[in-house]
Structures are given as structure tokens and as C-alpha cells.
Structure 1
């Protein structure tokens, strides 16, 4: 039985290209759900609309909010909408098609993709979450084996 580390690894550099693909492959081994946010104050790009349409068959939940894993909008009316999707081979491949960089999931107005992608395990514990426009991400590692799989970061 492996020891549980429950350790966080901070990512402050943008993961791109082949390492981004490795990261998505790694996260898909332990995640079953992913989410991202659309903010009303930022607007939504045509590419984000098309992405949401492509993922329609895989939606689990969606609701308006001012707070998610990597951000909170204080002293404002509800400004965001979070979407939760099933993570499987099809949805992972869609994510790889639309982005080649971890911090592409930032301000929709700047990157053409929704904000702050996050991945969750079967118990909805966060595995990886991003604040793209602030250029940081957090990875939660729960075992020594998982930690050593992240040497490419």
C-alpha cells in the first residue's frame, strides 16, 4: 500500500507542446471530471462557444457562480458560469485539439478559450487546477508513484 502524500506542486511556468500533452495524459489517469469557467464580464469567444457545443454530450453539471478553485470574484453580482464535463478519451482529445498550452485556459478575452480549467478525481477532489491569466497552476499529488510521473514539469 502506497503512502498518501496529499502534496501540492505549484506550477509557475507555462507547460506547452509535448509536455502539455504529457500533463493531460497524466491527469486523465486519475481524473474523471474537468471544468472550466466562462465570465460574463470578460465575454465569450466564438471558439469557446464551439468548444461548449462539442462537449454537450459529456456535460455533468453547470451553474452560475462567483467562486471556483482558482478564483473568487468578491463584491459583485454573479459573474461566472462553471461547466463540469466527463473526462474520457474523447473529451481529452478535444482538449488537446483546442489547446497546446496550460495557460491558454486563462482570460477568454485574451486566449480564446474558457478560463481556469480544472480536473477532479472520482470523489471530486481537485487533481489539477489552473489560473491561466495569473500564470499558475496547482497539482495535487497523492502518492510517491504519481510524484515521480511529474518529472517533466
Structure 2
């Protein structure tokens, strides 16, 4: 059984609870840069990437991440980061809501995209910010119940 969030964006305390929860049960996280902006990204984007740079584990050019396949349109770069108190603080302070990570902003001031948390090399949480969609793939019943109790946003179920 999996869960998803669609169009109902966790923000404020719900967003911080989500980040805290996944930082406790995950091994590392990834952010994506879609290689479609020759003019570069906004200042907030560059600032977050600079803050996270010392914690970079790997960087990979590809056409697919946990939630999106762009093979027909363009490539993407995946940035894998360590999870520690500093990177968690950066994630919490850089956004006030989940879909700010790659969401469409009228001022074109968006953050890196597709925040994804991994446990045992499997994505247990991924999102596509510009689609306002997130998916939770937890298998441990205790973790599922804890996550549900922390998040005020309605979760929708789907069968694997």
C-alpha cells in the first residue's frame, strides 16, 4: 500500500513535520535540476545549492528520477546529499511548504526540484513540485502510523 498527496500542499508545521520524519527514517536525499533553463536559475535556487554543496554525495546526469521520466524532452541532473542536522535545517529554512521545491512561482523564484528521500536505496518519499504531487512508499506499519499522525494533510491510498 502506498500513499500520495495531490494539490493539498503540506505547509508550516506539517511541512516541518514531514521533513523531520523523513530525515529520521531515511539514509540520504536527492534534489533534481531539469536541464531546460539556459539562462540559469533564480537566486534562491543558487543559494540553496551553495549551502548544500559541502554535503553532496554524488551528482548524476540522467533522464529519470524517482518520480519523473524526461527522456522525450530533456535531461536532468540528480544531486544526492547526506542527511544531517545541517542539511535538515537547510531544507526546513529554505521553504515554507512542500511544493515550493520545484513548484511554479510567478516570480520565477523557485527552489531545486523533486525532493526525494531514500531508505535502503529505495525512494520512500518523492515529489514532483511543478505537478503538486508527492508519493509516500513506506512499508513499516509503525512508520506509516507515525507519519499519518504527524501530517494534517489528507493522504490518499493506492495499491502497489
TM normalised by structure 1 equals: 0.87
Cα–Cα, structure 1 residues 100 and 50, in superposed 2: closer, same or farther, change >3 Å? Answer: same
Per-residue CA deviations over 1:60-107 (Å, capped at 9, x if unaligned) read: 01011111111111324x521110000111100011010111111124
Hey, what's the Cα distance between the residues in 2 that align with 1:23 and 1:107? 17
Counterpart residue number, 1:82: 78
Counterpart residue number, 1:23: 18
Question: Alpha-carbon deviation of 1:40?
Answer: 2.1
Counterpart residue number, 1:115: 113
Hey, what's the Cα distance between the residues in 2 that align with 1:108 and 1:83? 20
Hey, what's the Cα distance between the residues in 1 that align with 2:64 and 2:3? 22
Alignment map for 1:5-16 (pairs within 5 Å): 7-12=1-6, 13-16=8-11
CA contact (8 A) 1:108 1:114 kept: no
Instruction: List alignment gaps of at least 5 residues for structure 1.
Output: 1-6
CA contact (8 A) 1:32 1:88 kept: no
SS at match of 2:87: helix
Pick the aligned partner of 1:141 from 127, 138, 143: 138
Pick the aligned partner of 1:47 from 34, 44, 47: 44
CA contact (8 A) 1:105 1:111 kept: no
Q: State the superposition RMSD in angstroms.
A: 1.7
Hey, what's the Cα distance between the residues in 1 that align with 2:41 and 2:57? 21
Cα–Cα, structure 1 residues 72 and 106, in superposed 2: closer, same or farther, change >3 Å? Answer: same
Question: Alpha-carbon deviation of 1:8?
Answer: 1.2
CA contact (8 A) 1:129 1:137 kept: yes
SS at match of 1:112: coil
TM normalised by structure 2 equals: 0.83
